[in-house]
Amino acid sequence: MSEKVSPLRQPAAPVSAAAFMDEVAGLIVEALNLDVAPADIDPAQPLYGEGLGLDSIDILEIALAVSKRYGVQLRADGEENERIFGSLRQLADYITAHRTK
């Protein structure tokens, strides 16, 4: 007799890169309470300074939200931070490669 698996226990379908970028954009908007729609964040636009205009405190807030949601540990003094937070696309790619949740 084969056991039926509850639909709630099915593994989640893989999310497309574009859909995941939208999800990360939503996380940024939510974490920082920005007055911008997640869809309006250009994936290639810089997050720091020019572009989205975030500062180091904003980046720390995003790092905390990313850690809670995806299990990715980002250090405030991390050597790769400039690259990781270079754009929405770079952040989403980094999370995809290092997520534990």
Tell me: the pLDDT tens digits for 20-74? Answer: 999 999 999 999 999 999 999 999 999 988 888 899 899 999 999 999 999 999 8
66 phi-psi bin (left φ>0, alpha ψ -120 to 50, beta other): alpha
Q: Does residue 54 sit in helix, strand or coil?
A: strand
Query: pTM here?
Result: 0.81
At the fourth CATH level, the homologous superfamily of domain 16-34+41-98 is ACP-like (1.10.1200.10)
> Where do the domains of the chain lie?
16-34+41-98
More confident residue, 8 or 36: 36
